[in-house]
Structure 1
Amino acid sequence: MRFNPFSADIRRDPYPVYRQLREMPVHKTLGMWVLTRHADVRAVLLDRSFSAGLIPRLIGQQADRHVRGDVGRIERLARKSLVFTDNPDHARLRALVNRVFTANAIAALRPAIAAIAEELVENALGRGEMDVIVDFAGPLPLRVMCDWLALPESMREQVGDWTHNIRFLLEPGLMQAEDFTRVQAVVEEFAQALAGVIAQRRAHPGGDLISRLLAAETSGGDKLSDEEAIFVCIMCFVAGNETTKSLVGNGLLALLLNPEQDARMRARPDLARCAVTETLRYDSPLQLTKRVATRDVDQIRAGDQVLLCMGAANRDPEVFADPDRFDITRNPREHLAFGHGMHGCLGGALAELQAEVAFETLYRRANGLRLLTDQHEWQEHSLIVRSLKHLAVAL
């Protein structure tokens, strides 16, 4: 068989192909080694000799191809963001940002998240139906992050478009010349807007995320520069918005396609967190990620690209019993939806909290939820994120 992540069948339902791929120890396609078994994917995620620095290199190649000259901030964003860095840069940035993204800080956001979710559901109840993606799952993480950063109103209407455009940086191989030029301009516009906010917060700090990032300091006195703080803020949106939207949409679809689980959730809204964890395993928002080998490992040679299929690993029967069954009582803590090891998702706890509040609010406020169509269209602008374009439901 041949694994083609561009195919329409994969977008609709990648899991039958994943089942076949797991029968092979490794598979090579499009010049990459493809790993699908839980043990193999986890091992590479834990092995620091597999570099996460492929994205900056690809962005540099795109810059050479499309822009003859200095590309400025977009290249620095690629080289200095947590998502793309290896040690020692990664360890330094993580040590600072971890001081802000604490469990207590995220838990303290619950009332604000609940208030936004209540408002969005209330609007939908007035209409009797909604597009879960457009009206609920999309706006929720954007508004939560804007509030946590305390962004001025003048920025908030633009953040969604900025985030959607900059998302291309996670998959630079998909960018054409016009895409690169647009993303470069958007990064500069977003960064300049944030620079003004950061200057204001340095002069008048508060309890918001930007103020706390600027105040974060290691025992050795190290702090984030203004530009590093800008990059953290940008990546909070780029890495967190699309995946959280997908988590809520994929989870609600799975619940409504499985009546017994829908009924269980309705009878016990306290299972919302379990439903989120099972969604992360069953239909992972982030399906794929890449690494580059820096040493020879079996048939993989130094310099080879490795495609890690978290979506496949999360349905490995060696780890999860009856893996193709959606069961919100399963509590599968071994899932790899947030990655693992050094590059484990910084915002994973925040994504889980938002999805938990979203499910709990929907099931508490609406007496019933019903799909309005059995034809579901999946987004096509990303190969690595599995997300619905629309999800129409009656409430």
Structure 2
Amino acid sequence: MTAPSLLALLDPALRQDPYPTYRQWRETAPLSGGGDQPLMATRQQDCSDVLRDAKFGHLEEEQAGQLNSTPPEQRSFLGLNPPDHTRLRGLVSKAFTRKVVERLAPMISRTTDELIDAARGAGTVNLMDAIARPLPVAVISELLDVPTEDRDLIVAWSHDMARGLDPDFLIPEGVRERQAKARAEFRAYMLQLADKRRGNPGEDLLSGLVQVHDGGDMLSEAELLTTCMLLLIAGHETTVNLIGNGTLALLRNPSQLARLRAEPELAERAVEEFLRYDSPVQFTARFALQDTKIGEVDVPAGSSAILLLSAANRDPELCEEPDTLDIGREPTRHLAFGHGPHFCLGAPLARLEGRIMFQTLARLDVLESAGEPSYNDNIILRGMKELPVRL
């Protein structure tokens, strides 16, 4: 077994099944690193504490430039610290309301049925292309008022921009160029849609973002565009992986698939268990903004900490038999959506899409594996390129 380190974490060999390695790290070196190496946290309590501690945050612009080539004006509130984060998240929250999410439920149900009906007539399909990707694309397109004929553009831009979540040194030159091109094209496209919505607002989220204000404060054009970019990547890529990873977990645990078929009302709990068991977001990073501690370990200002959310979600302190899939498990305090001030704003929407999707899949007479999955190259986001199935 390798020792916990950034290099070991980034090893492509981990991609297929990182969890035995995470377990070994958590048991032998739950908090490792320090000095010129990032601290690696694998326990639920340590990760949770850091995520809600105001002494940890994101690098400021001049520091982030050393690790991230994304221009400062193109960074979303996800990478900001208070008070900037607080202001922007508050404005976006006023537009991204429960009403906006609930309005999407009939459309999600209808689209899910259509996708599964089409896949059933095709024999063996790649679940990722046939179902897992199209549903979140349809939902985010509805949210942002993207016409149906432009959804293929959204898919391509989202896939290219998602690699931007990985550290720059891991992104090949050609991929980095596609990422920059996708970012520029998406921004230009959203500017046109936003201009239309200013003059003719609807009930979509984009209209809400264009009009949102608080005491005279509004989103600037740059803030509007970076928020749309964040919604696309966070609202699309992670939900794709929730659907794919959850389906694979059911296929590899046929007793749990049988239980979901017998008790479709467990779909809501099943979604929480899939998020815990095989998290779409594997890890995140924070930086000490002042001298502080993680547990009993001193952390000097400027130190970096990598929080292995997926290892923390299988911590025995979180739940019993954490390496066992149990769709009837009482909901846990998993960290798949983060914790603290950066808790995922789109969590209710992801949960809604997941619940409807797995309730529908559970009604199928046949849902079985038709081959081994293959994984994307992304390091932070864990998801598959291909998941062959028969419906």
- TM above 0.5, one fold? yes
Instruction: Give ranges in structure 2 of 5+ residues lacking alignment.
Output: none
Does structure 1 retain, via aligned residues, the 8 Å contact 2:337–2:347? yes
Query: Corresponding residue for 2:32?
Result: 27
Superposition pairs of residues 48-197 of structure 1, within 5 angstroms = 48-53=54-59, 57-59=63-65, 63=69, 74-78=71-75, 81-153=76-148, 155-173=150-168, 174-197=170-193
Q: How big is the shift at 1:159? A: 1.0
Report if the CA contact (8 A) 1:55-1:172 is conserved.
Answer: no
- Correspondence list, 1:271-350, <5 A: 271-296=266-291, 297=293, 298-350=297-349
TM-score with structure 1 setting the length: 0.91
Q: Which runs of 5+ in 1 are unaligned?
A: 64-70
Provide, for residues 155-199 of structure 1, a one-character-per-residue CA deviation record: whole Å limited to 9, x for no partner.
322111111111132123223444444322322221111111111
Distance 2:165 2:382 in 1: 14
Q: Cα distance 1:60–1:146, how it changes in 2: closer, same or farther (>3 A)? A: farther
2:13 is aligned with 1:5: no
| Distance (Å, rounded) in 2 between the aligned partners of 1:56 and 1:184 | 20
Q: Which residue of 1 aligns with 2:249?
A: 254
Are the counterparts in 1 of residues 201 and 207 from structure 2 also a CA contact under 8 Å? yes
Residue 244 of structure 1 and its aligned partner are, at CA, apart by 0.6
* TM-score with structure 2 setting the length: 0.92
Q: Tell me, in whole angstroms, the C-alpha distance in 2 between the residues paired with 1:2 and 1:91.
A: 37
Letter in 1 for 2:206: I
Contact 2:100 2:205 in 1 (8 A): no
| Contact 2:238–2:281, Cα closer than 8 Å, also in 1 | yes
Q: CA distance change for structure 1 residues 39 and 62 in 2, over 3 Å: closer, same or farther? A: closer
- Name the % identity: 38
How many equivalent pairs are there? 380
Mapped partners of 1:378, 1:222: distance in 2:
43
Q: For each residue in 1:109-157, what CA deviation from the matched residue of structure 2 results, as whole angstroms up to 9, or x when unmatched?
A: 1101111111100101112332111111011101111012111345322
RMSD: 1.9
- Mapped partners of 2:279, 2:112: distance in 1: 22
1:30-64 superposed Cα distances (whole Å, 9 cap, x missing partner): 8211000000000000012111237884446554x
* Equivalent-residue separation in structure 2 for 1:129 and 1:177 (angstroms): 35
Return the alpha-carbon distance in structure 2 between the equivalents of residues 56 and 103 of structure 1. Answer: 36
